[in-house]
Amino acid sequence: MSDAYLALEDGRVIEARGRAPGRTRGELVFTTAYTGYEESLTDPSYEEQVLTFSYPLIGNYGVREERFESDRVHPRAAISHEFTEDVVEWLEAENVPAIDHIDTRDLVTSIREEGAMKCGIAVGEDVTPEDAKAELEECKGMSEHVDIGERVSTVEHTTYGDGDTDVALVDCGAKMSIVESLVERNATVHVLPYDTTPEELAAVDPDLLFISNGPGDPANFEAAQELVEEHVGEVPIAGICLGQQVVARALGGTTEKMDFGHRGVNQPVRDLDSGRVVMTTQNHGYTVGEPGDELDVKQVNVNDGTAEGLANDELDVITRQYHPEAHPGPHDSLDFFDDVLAMTASGQHVVADD
Ligand SMILES: NC(=O)CC[C@H](N)C(=O)O
């Protein structure tokens, strides 16, 4: 008998060591990053997912609030080969179940071979394999979480910084390091709810419209898509990760689910104009399929050729599928924020409120 079970969609039930108690379910995903567990566990993009760390020891440099990307832990549960006490205490305080002492290499290989799958977890003194299976039965697919934006977004317009450029950051589950990257570059960042209307955006009258990263299926962020549809050409537009997907959908492109996604801090991306390759941080399960007539593919993933950067120079639109803010991850692509803010330099754009 064990005190923790993980039930997988492929029918397996894996015994584990229980670290933080509870019962839950979610889409099983992974990260191969060897650092950055504080950032990943607080990244709102992991809402409704169960995060497996493939690096075998998680917690070896403590838990520091200044590294947090939001005010809470977002994955529904966490899995590693070994969690330190620091991390276990943190997850327990946040009511997030955690398990370790399992073969995470085997688990990640299964996800890579069989694709992202649903899972159920049960941790506690009296739990049985049936409890984990019961959780799995209740697990929804990512696209079915139609209200996911509501659970990760700010409710109120919140302002950061006091710079010369007004950026409207539509919060679909934004990482704090995106806000910081803009504030550091002399921006005032208006973090707006995920369901901001075109009229509410016009009242802010930003110099730049920025769609954030976020969890789940980009098709469930219709309001953000409408903002792009309504204001493209009037104001420069940028997007990161879910933001790229939303911008593409708004401008006639398509998005599709990947088998297991891009999940780590060593994803190589080639810029098609310069030929330069950068190492990037990624955690996404959807990708842009067709970019549509308005957007050019400017950057591609070296491993599988998927769209990593889109742009329309005349309409002033630039997006990235990866995370230039690099928390965690290599800083190769931080200049994205300079490029984005450079689009505002002409000052010719006015958001019309009609
Ligand atoms: N990091 C993100 O913004 C993730 C985007 C989206 N939820 C996906 O899985 O593809």
Residues 18-44 pLDDT 10s: 999 999 999 999 999 999 999 999 999
Check if 281 has its Cβ closer than 6 Å to any atom of ligand 1: no
- Among residues of the chain, what percentage have pLDDT more than 70? 98
3-class DSSP state of 239: strand
Q: How far is residue 148's CA from residue 213's CA, in Å, rounded to a whole number? A: 13
| 242 marked among binding-site residues | yes
Tens of pLDDT, residues 145-180: 999 999 999 999 999 999 999 999 999 999 999 999
Whether 354 is in a domain gets the answer no
Please check the confidence at residue 79 and state whether its pLDDT lies above 80.
Answer: yes
Counting atoms of ligand 1 from 1, which one is nearest the CA of 43? Answer: 1
* Residue 347: per-residue pLDDT: 58
Whether 60 is in a domain gets the answer yes
Counting atoms of ligand 1 from 1, which one is nearest the CA of 216? Answer: 7
- Among residues of the chain, what percentage have pLDDT more than 90? 97
- Residues β-bridged to residue 152: none
Same domain, 133 and 9: yes
* Residue 14: per-residue pLDDT: 98
With the most atoms of ligand 1 within 8 angstroms of its CB, the residue from 213, 265, 280, 281 to mutate is 213
Whether 323 sits among the annotated catalytic residues: the reply is yes
* Residue 354: per-residue pLDDT: 46
Same domain, 223 and 114: no
* Residue 352: per-residue pLDDT: 53
Average pLDDT of the chain?
Answer: 96
* Residue 171: per-residue pLDDT: 98
Counting atoms of ligand 1 from 1, which one is nearest the CA of 258? Answer: 10
Please check the confidence at residue 260 and state whether its pLDDT lies above 50.
Answer: yes
| 285 marked among binding-site residues | yes
Tens of pLDDT, residues 87-132: 999 999 999 999 999 999 999 999 999 999 999 999 999 999 999 9
Whether 348 is in a domain gets the answer no
**Phi, psi dihedral angles at 252 (to 5 degrees):** 95, 5
Strand extents, DSSP E, the chain = 4-8, 13-20, 22-31, 49-53, 57-58, 77-79, 82-83, 98-100, 117-123, 158-160, 165-171, 187-193, 208-211, 237-240, 255-271, 277-288, 296-301, 307-312, 317-320
Residue 242 sits in a domain whose CATH number is 3.40.50.880
Residue 46 sits in a domain whose CATH number is 3.50.30.20
Average pLDDT over residues 255-282: 97
From residue 260, alpha-carbon distances to 25, 55, 110, 153, 279 in Å are: 17, 18, 10, 25, 19
Nearest CA owner, ligand 1 atom 3: 213
Please check the confidence at residue 351 and state whether its pLDDT lies above 80.
Answer: no
Whether 120 is in a domain gets the answer yes
Q: Judge if ipTM > 0.85.
A: yes
**Domains in the chain, number:** 2
Please check the confidence at residue 346 and state whether its pLDDT lies above 90.
Answer: no
CA of 323 from ligand 1 middle (Å) equals: 10
The residue count of the chain comes to 354
Whether 325 sits among the annotated catalytic residues: the reply is yes
Check if 284 has its Cβ closer than 6 Å to any atom of ligand 1: yes
Q: How far is residue 200's CA from residue 188's CA, in Å, rounded to a whole number? A: 17
Q: Which residue range forms the structural domain that includes residue 46?
A: 4-140
Nearest CA owner, ligand 1 atom 8: 284
Same domain, 237 and 298: yes
* Residue 237: per-residue pLDDT: 98
CA of 284 from ligand 1 middle (Å) equals: 4
**Phi, psi dihedral angles at 210 (to 5 degrees):** -125, 120
Same domain, 21 and 98: yes
Check if 18 has its Cβ closer than 6 Å to any atom of ligand 1: no
Please check the confidence at residue 353 and state whether its pLDDT lies above 90.
Answer: no
Same domain, 88 and 224: no
